[in-house]
Structure 1
Amino acid sequence: MKTSRLRRSLLLRSVAFAGMLMASKVACAEAPANWPTRPVTLVVGFAAAGPTDMIARILAEQLSIKFGQPFVVDNKPGAGGGLAAGLVRKAAPDGYTLMFASSGTLTILPHIQNSVRFDPIRDFTAVGLVANYPYFLVTPASSSIHSVDDLLKKGGESNAALTYGSAGIGATNHLAGEWLSRAKRLNATHVPYKGDSAAVADLIAGRVDFGFIAGAVAFPLVKAGKLRLLASASATPGRGPTSVKTLREAGIKGFVAEPWNGVMGPAGLPTPIVVKLNAAINDIMKRKDVVDRLAAVEQYPFTGTPQQFTASIKEQSERWGTIIKDAGIKVE
């Protein structure tokens, strides 16, 4: 009698557990289709009011409208975006914690900092590209360098001692200067600053010979007669003033210094959420009102599939990784 009751009890427990397991599986299967049902956090690894933050807020605003749930920007500056990456890497892959990532964080940081403990492909799910912007090659307005040819000719002289400024060691505009110098064997020395503002100030004053800066900063200074614009580092001709050619067109094969931003999730983010969010991002970035808002800060829509996003990460990581290794660049 006791054995019979024990068997019945074990059977009922097994049935109950199986029912709970089935309910859990159904809930998990249904969750991506219903996503989002509550606020979504978009973690930004840089301070508020910076270029990455500005684009993140434009996107978050539009996603909130599209999905009827708040997309909340959460700024977690630190370690070149590494702090935010670490937080999102450990988040649950349920679509409610995402990262608005920069190309520098994903494709440069792992190569220059030993303290970085993430792999941009293995530890994250690429969701969608959002926007990009080219750097522009500039010189002081007082410089005797008036063109790319002038720069290459002067920098190639054996007694040349050119300098170029950047936002700091490992910044994209540092690596752009390193790439140009190595590709054309320029006798040029890197001068790192604590941010773009300090580098631009010394460019204007003529204390450094050239540099790469974003159009939103460069164009007003060129118009004011403080800087001279030589070329665009975009892969796409026609960005910036119509008279400005790309460095590719100027004969620097394959040269591109064009940072981008995109949305990433933790590894294992369900495919239905990725597909739904990617489609929404692409739709938003094609709208004229959004394109106009991006253009106001010299940014351009940069849409595509999650697979194309992953390919962009791999391609840039390999390129910058090679330059960093060859130049022996390291930030502890």
Structure 2
Amino acid sequence: MRIVKFVSTLAMATVLSAGAVRAQDAPYPSRPVMLVVPFAAGGGVDIAGRIIAAALSKKLSATFVVENRPGAGGSVASNFVARAAPDGYTLFVGAPGPMTVAPALFPDEKVDPITQFDPIILFANMPGIVVTRNELGVSNMRELVALSKSQPGKLTMASAGSGSILQLMGEYLQDQLGFKWTHVPYKGSSPALAALMAKQVDVMVDVVPTAAPYVRSKDLKAIAVTIPNRSSQLPDVPTLSEAGYQGFNMGSWMALMAPKGTPPEIVTKLNQVLNDALTTQEMQDHLKTMGAEPEGGAPQRVTERLQEELPRWKKIVETAGLRN
């Protein structure tokens, strides 16, 4: 009787073990994958998330769906994903707002993008750009810096809102180059640009996609882009480093992230698929349409970007008195 019971127990264990192995060996993904976007539909990060989802769906013959979870500067979404099961079925479309600005603005949310997330890929970047109203009378960055230093606090800087990445980029520029503008926040980039064209403010640090149409139409003066290389969207606009101001790399990037502890083979698979997609003309055309530059590379590039920006924005949030 004991032998029969032992054999029966062994058989059951074997069946369960085989079932577990089959579940583990099931090709990823075997069910729909959710890409959580930390902002409302229609913005740059949302568009990037949908481009990523489409590329993954096509290559892996699976369903990747976007879910928008806006709120608290992106902290609502990042908290949700950080607490999700690390199984590759809940991913995060990260950006500077929720990943490197929100930790400084909302410290009580306790979201740590380095310890709570595994990076997958730095997908794309929207370069920053310094623009002025045409009547300001400056034609390059050196002239703008000289004017700003000669009139401390007199020049006004528009932004997309207090605590926005665009304000922080402008504050960082002032901090590094040693002058002061007076901040004038607006409810979004569009009204800020409208105010600049209406001569109500003097200068703005924006991202290329939203400023480029007004630069091309000559309604605004482009001074410099805030990344190491010139933007493909505005190739005639010099970089800050060309003007003699080194070490700037500011913009609104997009990265794909996963909860900490996601199996490395899943991270590698997603990274490879998206790196391959970024080399295609179709993907490059999609990104060009939205005004973004393709990035790609190893997951470590995301970590490096986080390590660069987290202390930068923490310092600026503190010195500008923006912490909530």
**For the superposition of Structure 1 and Structure 2, which TM-score range results when normalised by the shorter chain?**
over 0.9
**Structure 2 unpaired stretches of 5+:** none
The residue aligned with 1:94 is 87
The residue aligned with 1:163 is 156
Q: Does 1:30 align with 2:25?
A: yes
Q: Aligned partners of 2:264, 2:23: CA distance in 1, in Å?
A: 12
CA-to-aligned-CA distance 1:119-142 (integer Å, 9 cap, x gap) = 101111111111111011000122
Contact 1:160 1:187 in 2 (8 A): yes
How many residue pairs match? The answer is 324
| Shift in Å, 1:282 | 0.5
| Shift in Å, 1:174 | 0.8
| TM-score normalised according to structure 2 size | 0.92
Query: Larger C-alpha radius of gyration, 1 or 2?
Result: 1
The residue aligned with 1:118 is 111
The residue aligned with 2:275 is 282
Partner SS for 2:318: helix
The residue aligned with 1:234 is 227
Q: 1:314 aligns with which of 304, 307, 310?
A: 307
Q: How does 1:104-183 map to 2 (within 5 A)?
A: 104-158=97-151, 161-183=154-176
Shift of the 225–305 alpha-carbon distance from structure 1 to 2, 3 Å rule, reads same
CA-to-aligned-CA distance 1:168-191 (integer Å, 9 cap, x gap) = 222221111111112222131122
Shift of the 205–328 alpha-carbon distance from structure 1 to 2, 3 Å rule, reads same
| Shift in Å, 1:243 | 2.5
Q: Aligned partners of 1:171, 1:13: CA distance in 2, in Å?
A: 64
Shift of the 53–159 alpha-carbon distance from structure 1 to 2, 3 Å rule, reads closer
One-letter amino acid of the structure 1 residue matched with residue 59 of structure 2? K
The residue aligned with 2:55 is 62
Partner SS for 1:133: strand
Q: Aligned partners of 2:187, 2:300: CA distance in 1, in Å?
A: 35
Partner SS for 2:50: helix
| TM-score normalised according to structure 1 size | 0.90
One-letter amino acid of the structure 2 residue matched with residue 154 of structure 1? L
Moved more, 18-27 or 296-305: 18-27
Q: Aligned partners of 1:143, 1:158: CA distance in 2, in Å?
A: 13
One-letter amino acid of the structure 2 residue matched with residue 211 of structure 1? M
Moved more, 44-53 or 156-165: 156-165
CA-to-aligned-CA distance 1:22-79 (integer Å, 9 cap, x gap) = 3465246424xx1011211111111111111111111211211101111111111212
Q: Aligned partners of 1:240, 1:186: CA distance in 2, in Å?
A: 29
Q: Aligned partners of 1:269, 1:13: CA distance in 2, in Å?
A: 36
The residue aligned with 1:42 is 35
Q: Aligned partners of 1:19, 1:84: CA distance in 2, in Å?
A: 41
Moved more, 86-95 or 282-291: 86-95
Contact 1:154 1:160 in 2 (8 A): no
Partner SS for 2:108: coil
